[in-house]
Structures are given as structure tokens and as C-alpha cells.
Amino acid sequence: MNFILASASPRRRALLTQAGYKFDIVVSNIDEAQISADGLTAIEYSCKLALAKAEEVAQRFPDKLVVGADTVADFNGEIIGKAESAQHAEEITRKLFSQPHRIVSAIAMIKKNANLQTVEYDITTVYPIKMSEQEIAEHIASETWKDKAGAYAIQEGHDKFIEKLEGSETNVVGLSMELFDRMIMNVCY
């Protein structure tokens, strides 16, 4: 089944391509900074963003299945998205690599002309290894934190700072493939 991925994320694109899916990419025009997380849990916020991204693209392509996704980190109830600056990335890194935290990824699927709308989420608990001051400085200088929820990506070398994961590894990358596979099967069959 061909679908539209409403995401600019190269990580999501790579995961779906590696799994053999055929899809087009139409980046959503949603400004995430304009969507408030006030009063929402990480799960609610992630679902809200995934739906907003899928909905915006689905309005333009009502006859296509549109997939939107969003990933946030949940640090003791605090929602942590993408770092806005190097200083912000350092603050996030110090927090998230001090104790276990959760990564929440939501996937939304919408097909307007079929009256289909669904959103689900996956949670992975990350048990980090404390980073040294030098490792934190190197991480910030590398700029690999840019455009990533929680200011890190395990597929770009930061898995060496992870003791263990409870849950889906691809969820931490940005798209739970286990959840996606199940959802796409339910939608298509």
C-alpha cells in the first residue's frame, strides 16, 4: 500500500524504507511551536502533534492515506521536545542522561475520503549511562542534537550512553516500527 508520510524526518524515512514500505513524502506545514502542551501529558501532546501533522497533509490529499508522527521525551512528567539552542541542548542532555526517562512516539493515520482517523502511541523507557563533562561538551559541539526530540539520537552514536531500553528501539529512533506495522495492517485489511 502506498501512503504519504507527513514528516521531514530522515530517520522515519530510513526506518520505513528499510522495512520495505513504498511511500511519498509531503512535509506538513504545521508549526509545532504554535501547538501548546499546557495541561497535557507527553502521550496526549505527542498524539495531538501527530494528528495535527497528518490532518494538515490529509486536507490536501483526501484520497490518500496520510501518516503523521511525533516523538517527545518524558522526564518525570516534563515534556521535552527538540532543543532550541546549544545551551538548551546541554540542559536537556544533563537532565535526560541523569536518570531513566521515557520516549513517547505517536503515529496518526488519516484518510479523509474513507472517513478514517486513528492515532496510537508507543513508550520506551531509556536507562542512560551518565555522561562525563567532556562527553557532554563533545555531544553539544557535534550538533547531532539538532532536530531531535530529547537532543539525542541512539542511531548516531549515543547508544553507547544507553545502558538498556525497555520497549521498542525504533520508537527511540522516532517511529515504533512494531506499532506502525500493526496499525498499517489494521487500516489496510
Q: Supply the residues annotated as catalytic.
A: 70
Contact partners, residue 122, CB within 8 Å, separation at least 6? 104, 105, 107, 167, 168, 171, 176, 178, 179
d(CA 107, CA 92): 24
Q: Which among 105, 102, 165 has a CA at the least distance from the CA of 129?
A: 165
State residue 92 phi and psi, 5-degree precision.
Answer: -60, -45
Q: Which among 1, 3, 147 has a CA at the least distance from the CA of 70?
A: 147
Which helix (H) or strand (E) element contains residue 57? helix 42-60
